[in-house]
Structure 1
Amino acid sequence: MEKQSLEPTFAKLRPLGHAERYSATRSDLGIYLNVALTARYKTSGKVAVKPALFHALTTLIAKHPILSTIPWATETTKPYFVRLPTLDLDHVVSFFEDDANEEWRDFVDKVLEKEHNTPFESRAGTSLLPFWRLSVINHLNILDTFTLIFVFHHSLMDTQSAHSFHQELEEYMHRYSGQDLPVNTVICPSTTLLPPLEEMCNLSISDSFHLSQSTYHEPSPESWTGAPQSTPVKTRFRSIWLTEKDTRVLRNSSMRNKCSVTATLQALLAHSIFAALPSQYTILQGDCAVSLRRFLPQPIEATSLGCYVGSLSVVYHRKPTFDWDDAFHTKKAIRETLAMEGRDMPVGYLSSISDMRSWMREKLTKKRAAAFELSNIGTGLNAKPGGDGSHFRIESMLFSQSSSACSAAIKISVITGPDGNIALGFSW
């Protein structure tokens, strides 16, 4: 983020919470930059995209104050949020066409790879910028469709929040009648920010868990963890879109074996990575992100935007073929972690770190702990505003994120779109 003197027009808001501070610091150090949630829309062609989108964004900015705030003083031990006075949507949203000679998914992958290597800045010329942005891609070979890429800073929200953002955006675009003239410059609301995670959830940690987090354990030679933690980070990205048949087989197999799709995917990924590695590697650690939103009281609701996520780790051992026992083991680990309702999680350990920058810099050059990380935000957006008669309807979705210098070597981001098909985004 650009370092500039704090302007008098900026309103100083609350301090960053521990998870927010973690995300702001690693972004500031170039360790991990951003997250994206992408939606491909079907449109009736009867309503122009830009005015409908700007109308929807104006409504969302008025409803969610986090969309007009940015983390500030991230180079210090006491960062805080500030509110931008206005947002110029012409500087937040970009419009362009794809390459008619390239398959649309390949083109979107290239755009996402570029986005995940582009940090957020607080200013473009004289315009102040939020820590989120949108790209609208018009597909030349696919009539009546466009792709909308929402890129955001992880200190502002988690991917469940981005999912809600897309759902509301679809709804407000559908409601746009074309009669109200949307504005390009939006005056930001003065609404109070929602409290950070630790003020709403018990993130206490035991002495033994504190010791496990504060002590560096060198991975064994049999454990593959990719390259050592280092900067600069150059994200590579590719997506895999499962067909309707493949998605159905995965779901049915998971149900038949009494496993969740997340647990099955985690075990499948471990087996697939083993298959690509030399036989000397017999151990893999797989991390798994879990939403803590279910444990949070009011004022947190389904549509609240914020960062409410934790994580867990599972160790896998090489086997000659895929073994459902690994999926059961993963399901058990997820169930036991959720039963703790936020206690003894890495996100809770963050409260013990006074100097986040020094702590993260100490990780650099050391071996990673995890080979891969799975983040599955599941299924959503099934209810389509206006049904088949909607002017704007999301058909499919893709979840992606930057690679990181200080976590798993491979990140796999998973979402099931309104079409019922699973998409996987691989970052490394």
Structure 2
Amino acid sequence: MATERADLPLLRPMGVIERYMVARSQLGIYQKVAVTARYQCKDTSTLKSRLYAALAIVVSKHSVLSATAVDVDSKTPSFARLPYIDLDQVVTFNEIDTLDDVDGQFSIIDRFLEEEHTRQWDLRPALPLWRIHVFQRPGDSSRFILSYFFHHALGDTKSALVFQEAVEAALNAGSDTQSTSRIPTPTDLPLLPPLDDIPKASPPAGQSGASGELSGLWTGGVQSLPVDIRLRSLWLSAEQSTRLAQQCKKNGVSVTAALQTMLAAAVFQQIPENYTTVKTSIPVSLRGWLPSPITAESIGVFVDTFPETYHRGPFSWEEAKRSKATIDEVVQNQCGHGLIQKLSRVQDVKAEVDEAMGHPRSASFEMSNVGKLGPLQSGKDYQIESLLFSQSAGAMSAALKVSIVSGRDGRLTLAFSWQEGVVEDGFGEKVVQEFGRILERET
């Protein structure tokens, strides 16, 4: 649905990445990101009013949460300020049979995420660029699940952790409740600048640019529409998550490097022998290297990407060390390989999409590890327990996306998502199973 300007006050034009994110959702290429949190609490009897009060606090502190997208079908879309947010239009409450994963699986949440990640984002001027779904189980007043979906033009996944922690803090801030669903928006809080207007957001000269064609590269099926999502989550126990961290420390590698290398080995087990190479696309958060006003608590799109390549072979810690060296180089350079520069060269996204359909994908899989939260604390009325990070597959993305996060309970979770028809039936499930076997063997 096209978004009209209406009479909303403009905040600023969208930056390069933000414009691209809006265009690709309008074209059905990629839709949304989510971070789902399982909360423990003392009582859910007043959850709706407490949550609405908490959201009012969070919205008052982050300007982009009260922004909407306007002129989205033009070449110069902008953010505009909503005069208020009607939370009844963006927050839904649902009942489900269980709030627990079983044996590392959570099928009821997986099916919900599949549907929501497939659903096209409705860009209307009356609504912000985020939605919340709350799940409760009848008779259980001590827990609930809060699934936060957002348009990628609003923020990166680090921003989603900022949001969830801000909601958690606001829920614990006091006993005030919200008597109405309509909350005010901050009129004097400026929107943070786009990444392309921030110094240090670009890679050094000569570092950006595409790598050459790789021999024997597997990237799944060609780029195509429509994008129907399939998703499978994997919930590690706290004990297995701890063993993984210990083995990584023992072998001198990061958890991200180990998981990437394990995933590459799992993918090789499911593709024909004539494919000898897989290539990853890895997002990296830039916010820790950016100057003021960007901070660790900022909500916005502050990311770059970089590639990594693996050749056919079983998992080894030596290969994981090689991956760590690649990540270390990115950290040392404080940038990836120039996502802004790449997208700046795209003059017409629709023309690019039309040209790309039917051509091979550029990567085999994309792995994004958004990090972890601190441990559980005593004395909190509301507290995040487990987390699950998930995202839509993309018509012009890697064949497989793997999204990783760890909650306060110490459990590492992964969401595997792929576009139906891009890989063979059962491929995704087999990769998850093989990945689980490698993880169990190595930890």
Q: TM-score, normalised by structure 1?
A: 0.91
CA–CA distance in structure 2, aligned partners of residues 4 and 344 of structure 1: 33
Aligned position for 1:18: 16
Deviations 1:215-242 (A, max 9, x none): xx6664x211011111110011110001
Task: Give the secondary-structure state (helix, strand or coil) at the position aligned to 2:118.
Answer: coil
- Displacement of 1:243 in angstroms is 1.1
CA–CA distance in structure 1, aligned partners of residues 214 and 359 of structure 2: 10
Aligned position for 2:127: 129
* Amino acid corresponding to residue 394 of structure 1 in structure 2: I
Do the aligned partners of 1:38 and 1:399 also contact (CA within 8 Å) in 2? yes
Change (3 A) 1:381 1:93: farther
Identity of matched residues, %: 37
Aligned position for 1:212: 210
* Amino acid corresponding to residue 314 of structure 1 in structure 2: E
Aligned position for 2:183: 186
Change (3 A) 1:358 1:202: farther
Change (3 A) 1:209 1:230: farther
Deviations 1:323-348 (A, max 9, x none): 22221121111111222223642333
Aligned position for 1:395: 385
Residue 94 (structure 1) aligned to one of 92, 95, 100: 92
Aligned position for 2:218: 224
Do the aligned partners of 1:55 and 1:176 also contact (CA within 8 Å) in 2? no
- Displacement of 1:100 in angstroms is 5.5
1:44-83 matches, cutoff 5 A: 44-45=42-43, 48-83=46-81
CA–CA distance in structure 1, aligned partners of residues 100 and 305 of structure 2: 37
Residue 269 (structure 2) aligned to one of 260, 267, 275: 275
1:286-325 matches, cutoff 5 A: 286-319=280-313, 321-325=314-318
Aligned position for 1:174: 172
Change (3 A) 1:43 1:311: same
Aligned position for 1:113: 114
Task: Give the secondary-structure state (helix, strand or coil) at the position aligned to 1:90.
Answer: helix
- Displacement of 1:211 in angstroms is 5.5
- Displacement of 1:102 in angstroms is 9.3
Change (3 A) 1:224 1:175: same
Aligned position for 2:243: 249
- Displacement of 1:252 in angstroms is 1.1
Instruction: Confirm whether residue 340 of structure 1 aligns to residue 333 of structure 2.
Output: yes
CA–CA distance in structure 1, aligned partners of residues 292 and 128 of structure 2: 26
Deviations 1:222-279 (A, max 9, x none): 2110111111100111100011221122111111111000011110100011012221
* Amino acid corresponding to residue 119 of structure 2 in structure 1: T
CA–CA distance in structure 1, aligned partners of residues 248 and 100 of structure 2: 35
Aligned position for 1:237: 231
Residue 406 (structure 2) aligned to one of 416, 424, 428: 416
- Displacement of 1:181 in angstroms is 4.0
* Amino acid corresponding to residue 7 of structure 1 in structure 2: A
* Amino acid corresponding to residue 410 of structure 2 in structure 1: G
1:345-384 matches, cutoff 5 A: 345-382=338-375
CA–CA distance in structure 2, aligned partners of residues 370 and 122 of structure 1: 29
Do the aligned partners of 1:201 and 1:295 also contact (CA within 8 Å) in 2? no
Change (3 A) 1:343 1:259: closer
1:137-176 matches, cutoff 5 A: 137-140=135-138, 144-176=142-174
Q: TM-score, normalised by structure 2?
A: 0.88
CA–CA distance in structure 1, aligned partners of residues 3 and 198 of structure 2: 33
* Amino acid corresponding to residue 51 of structure 2 in structure 1: L
* Amino acid corresponding to residue 16 of structure 2 in structure 1: H
Task: Give the secondary-structure state (helix, strand or coil) at the position aligned to 2:152.
Answer: coil
- Displacement of 1:210 in angstroms is 5.9
Do the aligned partners of 1:15 and 1:78 also contact (CA within 8 Å) in 2? yes
1:198-209 matches, cutoff 5 A: 198-204=196-202
Deviations 1:310-363 (A, max 9, x none): 1111110011x2122221121111111222223642333222333233233322
Do the aligned partners of 1:201 and 1:342 also contact (CA within 8 Å) in 2? no
- Displacement of 1:398 in angstroms is 0.4
Aligned position for 2:193: 195
Deviations 1:56-86 (A, max 9, x none): 1011111111011122222222121112222
Report which stretch shifted further, 60-69 or 356-365.
Answer: 356-365
Aligned position for 2:5: 6
Do the aligned partners of 1:219 and 1:369 also contact (CA within 8 Å) in 2? no
CA–CA distance in structure 1, aligned partners of residues 381 and 99 of structure 2: 27
RMSD: 2.2
Task: Give the secondary-structure state (helix, strand or coil) at the position aligned to 1:276.
Answer: coil
Deviations 1:263-321 (A, max 9, x none): 111101000110122212111001111110111111112211101111111110011x2
Q: Which runs of 5+ in 1 are unaligned?
A: none
Between Structure 1 and Structure 2, how many residues are aligned? 414
* Amino acid corresponding to residue 336 of structure 1 in structure 2: E
- Displacement of 1:16 in angstroms is 0.8
Task: Give the secondary-structure state (helix, strand or coil) at the position aligned to 2:291.
Answer: coil
Instruction: Confirm whether residue 328 of structure 1 aligns to residue 325 of structure 2.
Output: no
Change (3 A) 1:177 1:423: same
Report which stretch shifted further, 53-62 or 81-90.
Answer: 81-90
CA–CA distance in structure 2, aligned partners of residues 243 and 109 of structure 1: 18
